[in-house]
Amino acid sequence: MKSVRHHIAIPHSKPTLGHEEIQFISQTIDSGHIAQGKIVSSFERAMAKNVGTKGAVACSSGTSALHLTLLAMEITSGDEVIFPSYVCSALLNAVQYVGATPVLAEIDPNTWNIDPEDVKKRLSHRTRAVIVPHLFGLAADLKPLISLGVPVIEDCAQAVGATYKGKKVGSMGFAAVFSFYATKVITTGEGGMVLSNSEDVLNRIRDLREYDQKSTYRVGYNYKMTDMQASMGLAQLDRLQGFIRKRRTIAQKYYSGFNSLPFQLPVRDDGHIYYRYVIRLEENSEPHISAMAKKGIECARPVYMPLHRYLKIEGYNRTERIWKKSLSIPIYPSLTENDFNRIIDSVVEVLGNSYRED
C-alpha cells in the first residue's frame, strides 16, 4: 500500500475506556497486590458465568490461551489441526508452537466463517482438533462441525457475547479461547482466556500457565494475566451488553445507509455482535481504503494476509477473492452519531463513484 499519511479523524479500532476502568484499576493498585491473584480469579468466574461454562483460565493473550489449550489436549508433532486460511496468524503460531501440522480450510462465501463441507474433506486419521473462529462477531456454523466427531476449539476472540441458535459462543465446543487485546470487543490491553466444561483440561492449563512451586520439573510457561489487567476486564465485562447494543445500533444505520450500494453487506443475524462491519466489493479494496483515508477515515482489510499466502499454498480461491475485495469500516461503541453519519456519507461517495465508473 502507498505510504502517504493522511490525518485520521476516525481510526479503524478504538477501545472504549472510562472512569469505571480507572476506578477498578486504582483499587487494585491501592490493594498492593498487582500480579495474578484474586481479581484474576473473579474475572475468570465472571467470564465462565457470562458464557455458561464450568470454568475459565485467564492467560497473557489469546495466542497463549490457544497454545495452552493445544498442550493440554496433548496435540503434538504428527497431529493435524484444521482451521481457516482466512484468519490472523496467531492460530498458525499456536499450532506451530506444539509442532502440529496446520491444515487450512476454505470459508463459506456468505458468512466468511470456516466451511464445514470443506473441513470434512480435509479430515484424516491424524486430525486432532478443528479451530473455529467466529469471525467479525458472527457465530460460525457449529452444529455440522461438532458432529464431525473431532474436538472443536471455538475461537471467540472477535465474538464475546455473540450467540449461535440462541446459545452463547464459547459454550458449545470442547474448549474456547478469547482475546482481550486492545482492539477487541472488551479489552485488558493484552490478555486472553480459555473456557471449558472439562475440569481436567482447565486444571492442566492452570498448571502450565505458571512455573513456580512445582514438586517436579517439566517445561512450564509464564502466561499469566495480572490483577491490574483483570480489573480492567471486570469493568469491561460489566459494560459488554451496552457495547453490543451500541454496535448493533450502528450496524443498523450502516445497513440502511448502504442499501442503495450493489455490494455484499454483512449477514444479518440476531446473534451477530458486529465486531467488524465488512463490505465485499466487486474489485480490489486497496484503492478504496486509500480514498477513505483521504477523507480521514481509517478502513482496512480485516484479515491482513490469509495464511495460505504466508505458507505459499495454492488453491484457496474463495479465500483469496474475499480477502482482496474486503473493506472493513470503523464500528465501535464510542463512535458518535456525527462519526457514523460521516462514515456513511464517505462510503457512499467513494463506493458509489467506483460503481458508476464501471
Ligand X SMILES: *Cc1c(COP(=O)(O)O)cnc(C)c1O
Q: Is 187 in the site for ligand X (CB under 6 A)?
A: no
Q: Which of 80, 154, 155, 298 binds ligand X (CB under 6 A)?
A: 155
Q: How far is the CB of 9 from ligand X (least distance, A)?
A: 25
CB count in 10 Å sphere of residue 97? 15
Strand partners, 279: 327
Q: How far is the CB of 188 from ligand X (least distance, A)?
A: 10
Place of cell 486432532: 128
Measuring CA to CA, which residue among 280, 264, 252, 215 is closest to residue 344? 252
Please state, in angstroms and rounded to a whole number, the distance separating the CA atoms of residues 293 and 299: 7
Place of cell 472439562: 198
Q: Which is nearer to ligand X, 62 or 170 (CB)?
A: 62
Q: Is 192 in the site for ligand X (CB under 6 A)?
A: yes
Q: How far is the CB of 61 from ligand X (least distance, A)?
A: 4
Residue whose C-beta lies closest to ligand X: 62
Q: Is 90 in the site for ligand X (CB under 6 A)?
A: yes
Stretch that binds ligand X, among 60-68, 143-151, 299-307, 328-336 (CB under 6 A): 60-68
Strand partners, 83: 104
C-alpha cell at 124: 484424516
Q: Is 15 in the site for ligand X (CB under 6 A)?
A: no
Please state, in angstroms and rounded to a whole number, the distance separating the CA atoms of residues 201 and 156: 18
Q: Which of 36, 69, 85, 158 binds ligand X (CB under 6 A)?
A: 158
Q: Is 21 in the site for ligand X (CB under 6 A)?
A: no
Q: Which is nearer to ligand X, 88 or 291 (CB)?
A: 88
Place of cell 491482513: 304
- Mask of contacts with ligand X, 222-251, x by CB under 6 A? ------------------------------
CA of residue 327 relative to chain centroid, distance: 17
Instruction: Tell me how many residues contact ligand X (CB under 6 A).
Output: 14
Q: Which of 179, 188, 326, 328 binds ligand X (CB under 6 A)?
A: 179
Please state, in angstroms and rounded to a whole number, the distance separating the CA atoms of residues 62 and 190: 8
> Cα–Cα–Cα angle for 56, 175, 304, nearest 5°?
100
Positions touching ligand X (CB under 6 A) are 61-63, 87-88, 90-91, 133, 155, 157-158, 179, 181, 192
